[in-house]
Every structure is written in structure tokens, then in C-alpha cells.
Amino acid sequence: MSVLKKAAAVIAGFVVASIVMMIIEFINGRVLYPDLAKAAEGVTDPEVIRGIMARAPVGAFLVVLLGWLLGGLAGGWSATRIAGDGSLRCGVILGALLTLAGVANNLMLPPPLWFWVASLAVLFPSAYFGARLAK
């Protein structure tokens, strides 16, 4: 299996995961919690963002976690299927990348502590499980 094909599989898995996450987060912000999305629209001041995050309902965070779980699952499955070598390696690499992206996201938009723990417990395992499903 060529390194380029594996790299492309991981990139494709990341794109799939990102699309799934964006769809769920779009639903979260536009359908389930539109007032929260309006409050955050165009805001760039870190202190204002922290205040919005502090007042965000738990349900909004749970929907984000659901999106991250489904995105990791879909991305891990896709990366493993595209790689086509029967190995979990691409799904595991994707899980590590998604976890790093989740950490970066949490550093930029500081969520509550419980969300930090939950996001670290969701991203890698969901990509790994998606890879296992693809085998």
C-alpha cells in the first residue's frame, strides 16, 4: 500500500468527519439553539466568547459531542475503507488528528471542564470504532 494512498485516505476521512460535524453543529446553532448562535454571530472578543460559552446550555454542548462522535465514526470508517488494506492504522491516525483538532478547538473556545473530558473521551474512540466497523 502506498504512503500516498494512506495519506489520502486519512485526509478524506478528516474531510468526511468535518462535514458530519459541521452538519450537526449547523443544526445545533440554527435549529436547536438559534438564540445562542445569534449571540455569538460576529463576536471576536475572547472575553465575550468566554461569557457566551459560560451561559451556553448543556444541551448545546451535548449536541456538539454527538456531532464529534458521529464525525469520528464516519471519518474512521471512511479512512479505513479508502485505505483498503484491512488495517486500522488510517482510522487510528485520523482519531489522533481529530483529538488534536478538538484540543485546539477547546483552547480557542474554552468550554466547561466536563466538556474537555468528554471530548477527549469521544474523538479518538469514535474514529477507532469507525475503523473497526469498516474492517
Predicted local distance difference test score (pLDDT) of residue 135: 81
Cell digits for 12?
478524506
Whether residue 86 contacts residue 135, with contact meaning beta carbons closer than 8 Å, is answered with yes
Predicted local distance difference test score (pLDDT) of residue 125: 97
Q: Which residue has the cell 494512498?
A: 5
Predicted local distance difference test score (pLDDT) of residue 1: 61
Answering whether pTM is above 0.85, one says: yes
Q: Where are the beta strands (DSSP E) in the chain?
A: none
Residues whose CB falls within 8 Å of the CB of residue 9, separated by 6 or more in sequence, listed in order: 78, 79, 80, 82, 83, 84, 90
Mean pLDDT value across the chain = 94
As for how many domains the chain has, the answer is 1
Predicted local distance difference test score (pLDDT) of residue 24: 97
Q: Which domain holds residue 99?
A: 3-41+49-134
Spans in the chain with pLDDT lower than 70: 1
Tell me the pLDDT tens digit for each residue of 83-117.
Answer: 998 889 999 999 999 999 999 999 988 899 999 99
